[in-house]
């Protein structure tokens, strides 16, 4: 198996607080292959954005990586010096944030921000950087890019601004783009366009994408594989089609049941009882056990690790361990 | 843009008219001007004559109009106390005050922004902790006490700097007497400038620090970091410029109060500026000088406000609405 572009192993992120240390990410592991789009879903507070921030080295204090490792093309990046990590950001890993209205500095023109980013990472003259910036804006679908480039962010609509943000994230040809809920703050009518622009621009450049969202529809259309996060742990990870059509983890199937479909008519959508535990009250064993309908003793006692299910699927659920035991007998 | 400036100008004129009304009212409410002009032996008839000659019997609007039209031409009458044209008096004292205010304003701004940025970026280290503590003293000690303390330490005990006056001065042009060109003039400026600017400096510093911390939490700073920009570019290119938008307003307004409140500093250091002139005029109920001083300070505030608005405009592109509405 070739070295994955990004490899996250047993990543632990902790927040020391006055009342003890909160573990926000607990042994999260996943890979992203080159040119692959990995979706990352989960409820608010499951640790999706935190995973992105930890990878790119922008955890906000007092949060810190307390264990595990992050490798980019086999090279560890979680323990780089701040200066070396800065050179990775933007150059090798680009990032797109949720709210395009606040992601751009209001006091600088789009051209100034693009050229600044390009020249930070690439050895280009002002003129060449500008030419490249116009090309990027053109690529992300901004009409009359050569003229609009000298406008300020407030001259653009939300969707257009997110295109500018994508252009900025791609400015130095990163190998990986982390998109943290890139469409959540946008109008429904432009969400699909932005996702298309993001995906196409990345595929064109051979860049992988880590797409963080809670919108299953976006994942289904865009991602190759999907990782489901629950309470700071990976519950299930696998090819999108498999996970969506035949979810194995009870939490994932609960999530899928909560999505309305056009073909089925149901009076009520299924709902997972209860809510995700707070970080200071994660139950022993499987974090999902108090809400799970298939819960049994072992779930309350031991924490399940990811179990390989074949076809690239992994599930952290004792149900499947028991099945295998039975099969062995 | 032009409409914006015009609108502001009209507002400024209204403010100035209001202040002129207050200044003019001084003449009527601070006793009878005739009484302070004539001796005890003057008869009532003579007094009535002078009253008629000075136009004091005219209706109020006529008198106000005369006051206004003369004020616009720079004629505020003659000082009761010094028997000199008020405008001449003020102009001869103005350079001293302006030099003092300008130097302390620049010092307050530079050190205020510098310390503010430093304490915001290096939160928690011992130096920014001590800067913050010392700044508390600057905010809480009254100006005259700071002046007296500085005189005691640097003029009396250490004898490094003079304790009063402007030192040697030279003329630039016809009437601008400057102390900036002679060593003793510059030495004399140091203590008053610190006294006058310390409070403003700590105010600017605390404002810059608070704004900077606020800006450093914004999404565009996070995004700037995610783009891999250097710390210097993030802190000084992106954060500081956004910090300065509100700081400019406060600094501008503070510049006005530096000129207005130089009264105390000028009294403590016997600095021969307009503030000292005003204090003496109050003591002798020299109404023309008081009125002119009031108008002058109002003018300073109005002009500074106008400049601040224009600066705002230059710094923040979002205010240039005409262009945006033409585009979208």
Contacts of residues A187-195 at CB distance under 8 Å and 24 or more positions apart, as own/partner, are: A187/A158, A187/A159, A190/A158, A190/A159, A190/A162, A191/A218, A193/A141, A193/A159, A194/A159, A194/A162, A194/A163, A194/A166, A195/A221, A195/A222
- Global pTM? 0.79
pLDDT at A212: 93
Tell me if B318 and A97 make a contact (CB, 8 A cut-off): no
In the numeric block, which tokens belong to residue B160?
Answer: 């490094």
Interhelix angle A188-205/A158-170, nearest 10 degrees: 20
Q: How far apart are CA B100 and CA B109, in angstroms?
A: 14
Query: SS3 sequence, A71-114?
Result: EECCEECCCCCHHHHHHHECCCEEEECCCHHHHCCCCCCHHHHH
Q: Closest-CA residue in chain B for A91?
A: B228
Shortest distance between the Cα of A124 and any Cα of chain B, in A, equals 15
Residue listed under structure tokens 């949720």: A98
pLDDT above 50 (res B325): no
pLDDT over 70 for what percent of chain A?
96
Q: Closest-CA residue in chain A for B223?
A: A103
pLDDT at B327: 42
Q: Is A150 helix (H, G, I), strand (E, B) or coil?
A: coil
Q: 69-108 in A: which are within 8 Å (CB) of B?
A: 86-91, 94-95, 97, 99, 102-108
Q: Where are the beta strands (DSSP E) in chain B?
A: 170-172, 176-178
> Do the Cβ atoms of B120 and B216 come closer than 8 Å?
yes
Tens digit of pLDDT for each residue in A272-307?
Answer: 888 888 888 888 888 888 888 888 888 888 888 888
pLDDT band at B77 (very low <50, low <70, confident <90, very high): confident
Instruction: Give the number of C-alpha atoms closer than 13 A to the C-alpha of residue B201, restricted to the C-beta side.
Output: 25
Question: Among the CATH numbers 3.40.190.10, 3.40.50.300, 3.30.565.10, 1.20.1440.230, which is that of A6-107+152-328?
Answer: 3.40.50.300
Contacts of B218 in chain A (CB under 8 A): 102
Q: How far apart are CA A281 and CA A316, in angstroms?
A: 20
Burial class, A149, CB count within 10 angstroms (exposed 0-12 / middle 13-18 / buried 19+): buried
Q: How far apart are CA A308 and CA B191, in angstroms?
A: 77
Cβ neighbors of A61 (< 8 A, separation 6 or more) are none
Shortest distance between the Cα of B328 and any Cα of chain A, in A, equals 7
Least-confidence region, from A159-163, A176-180, A267-271, B258-262 = A267-271
Tens digit of pLDDT for each residue in A113-130?
Answer: 999 999 999 999 999 999
Distance of CA A122 to the CA centre of its chain: 26
Shortest distance between the Cα of B227 and any Cα of chain A, in A, equals 4
Q: How far apart are CA A22 and CA A36, in angstroms?
A: 32
> Do the Cβ atoms of B53 and B6 come closer than 8 Å?
no
Q: How far apart are CA A254 and CA A230, in angstroms?
A: 12
Shortest distance between the Cα of A85 and any Cα of chain B, in A, equals 8
A150 close to B (CB below 8 A): no
The reply to whether omega before A62 is within 30° of 0 (cis) is: yes
Cα separations in angstroms, B256 against B83, B105, B177, B252, B296: 29, 10, 22, 7, 11
Tens digit of pLDDT for each residue in A11-34?
Answer: 999 999 888 888 889 899 999 999
Q: Which residues of B touch A (CB under 8 A)?
A: 218-220, 222-231, 233, 237-238, 241-242, 245, 315-318, 324, 327-328
Domain ranges (residues) in chain B: 89-274
Average pLDDT over residues B227-237: 89
Kind of pairing between the strands at A6-17 and B176-178: unpaired
Question: How large is the ipTM?
Answer: 0.86
pLDDT above 80 (res B262): yes
| Nearest neighbour of A97 by CB, restricted to B223, B238, B242 | B223
Q: Closest-CA residue in chain B for A157?
A: B328
Quote the radius of gyration of chain B (alpha carbons, Å).
24
Tens digit of pLDDT for each residue in A82-93?
Answer: 899 999 998 999
Question: Please, what is the end-to-end C-alpha distance for chain B in angstroms?
Answer: 18
- B89-274: which CATH topology? MetI-like fold (1.10.3720)
Tell me if A154 and B317 make a contact (CB, 8 A cut-off): yes
| DSSP state at residue A276 | P
């Amino acid at each position: 198996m070739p070295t994955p572009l990004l490899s996250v192993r047993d990543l632990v992120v902790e927040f020391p607080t006055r009342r003890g240390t909160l573990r926000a990410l607990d042994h999260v592991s996943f890979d992203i292959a080159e040119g692959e789009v990995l979706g990352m879903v989960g409820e608010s507070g499951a640790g999706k954005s935190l995973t992105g921030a930890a990878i790119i080295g922008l955890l906000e204090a007092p949060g810190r990586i307390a264990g595990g490792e992050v490798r980019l093309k086999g090279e560890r990046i979680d323990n780089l010096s701040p200066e070396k990590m800065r050179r990775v950001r933007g150059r090798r890993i680009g990032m797109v944030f949720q709210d395009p209205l606040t992601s751009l500095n209001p006091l600088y023109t789009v051209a100034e921000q693009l050229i600044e980013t390009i020249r930070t990472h690439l050895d280009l003259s002002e003129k060449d950087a500008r030419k490249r910036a116009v090309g990027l804006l053109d690529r992300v679908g901004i009409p009359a890019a050569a003229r609009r480039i000298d406008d300020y962010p407030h001259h653009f609509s939300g969707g257009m601004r997110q295109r500018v943000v994508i252009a900025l994230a791609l400015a130095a040809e990163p190998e990986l783009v982390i998109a943290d809920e890139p469409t959540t703050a946008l109008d429904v009518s432009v969400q699909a366009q932005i996702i298309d622009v993001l995906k196409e621009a990345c595929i064109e450049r051979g860049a992988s994408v880590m797409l963080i969202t809670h919108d299953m529809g976006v994942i289904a259309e865009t991602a190759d594989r999907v990782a489901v996060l629950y309470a700071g742990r990976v519950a299930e990870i696998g090819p999108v089609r498999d996970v969506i059509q035949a979810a194995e983890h009870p939490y994932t199937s609960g999530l899928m049941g909560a999505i309305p479909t056009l073909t089925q008519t149901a009076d009520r959508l299924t709902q997972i009882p209860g809510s995700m535990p707070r970080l200071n009250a994660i139950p022993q064993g499987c974090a999902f056990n108090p809400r799970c309908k298939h819960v049994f003793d072992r779930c309350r006692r031991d924490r399940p690790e990811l179990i390989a299910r074949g076809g690239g699927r992994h599930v952290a659920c004792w149900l499947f361990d028991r099945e295998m035991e039975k099969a062995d007998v | 843009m032009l409409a914006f400036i015009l609108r502001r100008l009209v507002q400024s004129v209204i403010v100035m008219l209001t202040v002129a009304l207050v200044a003019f009212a001084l003449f009527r409410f601070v006793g009878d001007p005739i009484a302070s002009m004539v001796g005890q032996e003057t008869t009532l008839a003579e007094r009535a004559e002078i009253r008629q000659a000075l136009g004091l019997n005219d209706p109020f609007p006529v008198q106000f109009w005369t006051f206004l039209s003369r004020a616009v031409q720079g004629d505020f009458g003659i000082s009761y106390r010094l028997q000199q044209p008020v405008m001449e008096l003020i102009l001869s004292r103005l350079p001293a005050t302006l030099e003092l205010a300008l130097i302390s304003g620049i010092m307050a701004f530079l050190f205020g922004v510098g310390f503010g940025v430093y304490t915001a970026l290096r939160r928690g280290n011992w130096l920014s902790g001590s800067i913050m503590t010392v700044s508390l003293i600057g905010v809480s000690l009254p100006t005259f006490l700071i002046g007296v303390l500085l005189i005691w330490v640097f003029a009396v005990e250490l004898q490094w700097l003079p304790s009063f006056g402007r030192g040697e001065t030279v003329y630039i042009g016809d009437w601008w007497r400057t102390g900036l060109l002679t060593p003793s003039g510059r030495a004399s400026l140091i203590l008053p400038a610190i006294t006058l600017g310390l409070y403003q400096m700590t105010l600017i510093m605390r404002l810059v620090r608070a704004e900077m911390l606020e800006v450093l939490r914004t999404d565009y700073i996070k995004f700037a970091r995610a783009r891999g920009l250097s710390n210097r570019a993030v802190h000084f290119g992106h954060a500081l410029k956004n910090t300065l938008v509100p700081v400019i307003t406060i600094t501008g307004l503070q510049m006005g109060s530096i000129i207005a409140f130089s009264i105390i500093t000028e009294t403590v250091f016997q600095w021969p500026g307009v503030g000292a002139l005003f204090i003496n005029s109050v003591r002798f109920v020299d109404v023309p000088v008081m009125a002119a001083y009031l108008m002058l300070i109002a003018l300073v505030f109005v002009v500074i406000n106008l400049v601040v608005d224009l600066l705002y405009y230059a710094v923040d592109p979002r205010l240039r609405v005409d262009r945006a509405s033409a585009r979208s």
